[in-house]
Structure 1
């Protein structure tokens, strides 16, 4: 029996969910096992913000699977010189020592920028980009580390964090220009997740550990909010910058259904807190997955 086609009604409802929340949005959802997809503007390039940490972890575990790096290798982390951020090592005050795989856990669980940059330091941005190219994701490109990304925010805001809510300042941020920052498309990020779940990035224990790490995220106010069920597992990674709220992840149902979903949004408002935009990510993802399961 063939897979029924996705109806245009689902796309209309997804677009309406974005509009009602005051955002423009792109979405790509795919059934990992059948390849059936639903898309809304999925090929538009967007700044990835912390969603790009998915690419860093994919490259890290692929290198480990090829025997080029030991995930248990310890890294000494001085108290000074850490990447900016409100969570994880950036918010801690004392020197620490962690393995690469524990840094990977922090990079996902609390979107730790310092942890992500230490991983990038270990494997190099060139390796991250080469891994994406090897996987056929030619529009997924990293041009700087998290510390470098935040340096552009600091410079473009004139060193005044409050200015990042000023529409005039926001309009000139390099971090929001996909030609000058880390970037991808919803289609390619969803394809990366599908590849991880299909053992195409790495295999065996490395693949199982990578998927487990991607299930550690503490935030549940975006993608996971659309699937409030005890028996549905959501593994995801958020990304946030002024006006941008993204999340990409995999939704796994108890009947074996597996769906990779990437949702990128841009709000008209420059306010830091916009719960309707966060909720729209989960709502749009749920509409897409329900359509794929129909």
Structure 2
């Protein structure tokens, strides 16, 4: 009855002024309660980059179809090979639309209608720098660029680089839209735990030089799809991340930088979503919960 007489604006402020969770136990309880409201399967991995012991893992070893999250390991492999002198980011690479299935080497092609970056198809037959292809593979999630880049560095090499970091479950097997491989269950797969390990290594400059690591982070900071991890965070928080989605599945994974210098890795995975919008909203809410805990 008391609130009946309060101005609407004050009511809204009172409703929003919930205390930030002060422990990871509270964070996990809030997250679990939020996920219980959505039909689907989820995994969460949080790792503070300021305190090695500050970590939260929920279903973090469960396997998920990687969708476009596999494009970050491919970028990492490009920069690793570039630093080893095996290729150059300035190499000119032919833009083509013919690829070969890992099942039987039969040819297949991609459709611009199913790609989030159709502009590259206008460049077929020309050459682009490997650097530009990697950039659009990440920020625009270009499938065509991804397949071209994977041919240049080798999917198996990306997997082995991650094995060297202790990411023992993630599998980068193939390019995008290899229908024969998909029908045989030969998919790119990941876990929240392994993506967390990879992003932590990138943030800490443990795979390539500090300069190359920062170049990758700068690309991730330009990400154009921001419906999950960054969606509810303040404008002065920077998120270097890569999303992924297919029917019934939405992921986001990356590094979050607070203006006070603190930072953390966050991985949010989902599958079997019956309401994809509700799933995306839940993941955005979880990101805000983690941020509130770190920023408290």
Same fold by TM (over 0.5)? yes
Q: Tell me the TM-score normalized by structure 2.
A: 0.82
Matched-pair contact (CA < 8 Å) for 2:116–2:142:
yes
Per-residue Cα deviation, 1:13-50 (whole angstroms, up to 9, x for no partner): 11222222333211001111212111211111211111
The answer to whether residue 268 in structure 2 is matched with residue 263 in structure 1 is yes
The CA deviation at 1:59 is 1.0
1:247 — aligned with what? Answer: 252
1:287 — aligned with what? Answer: 289
For the residues of structure 2 that align with 1:88 and 1:120, how far apart are their CA atoms? 17
Greater CA drift, 110-119 or 14-23:
14-23
> Of 76, 79, 87, which residue of structure 1 is paired with 2:116?
87
Q: Secondary structure at the match of 2:206?
A: coil
2:127 — aligned with what? Answer: 97
Per-residue Cα deviation, 1:108-157 (whole angstroms, up to 9, x for no partner): 11110111111110011121111111111111111221132x5556xx5x
- Report 1:61-140 matches (<5 A): 61-78=79-96, 82-84=109-111, 85-89=114-118, 92-95=121-124, 96-140=126-170
For the residues of structure 2 that align with 1:27 and 1:79, how far apart are their CA atoms? 36
Larger Rg: 2
Distance 1:90 1:79, change over 3 A: farther
For the residues of structure 1 that align with 2:29 and 2:58, how far apart are their CA atoms? 9
Matched-pair contact (CA < 8 Å) for 2:222–2:240:
yes
The answer to whether residue 231 in structure 2 is matched with residue 221 in structure 1 is no
Distance 1:152 1:124, change over 3 A: closer
Per-residue Cα deviation, 1:74-121 (whole angstroms, up to 9, x for no partner): 112136665343222576334232111111110111110111111110
For the residues of structure 2 that align with 1:249 and 1:45, how far apart are their CA atoms? 18
- Structure 2 gaps, min length 5: 1-20, 100-108
Q: Tell me the TM-score normalized by structure 1.
A: 0.82
Matched-pair contact (CA < 8 Å) for 1:90–1:112:
no
1:210 — aligned with what? Answer: 216
Aligned length: 263
For the residues of structure 1 that align with 2:283 and 2:240, how far apart are their CA atoms? 14
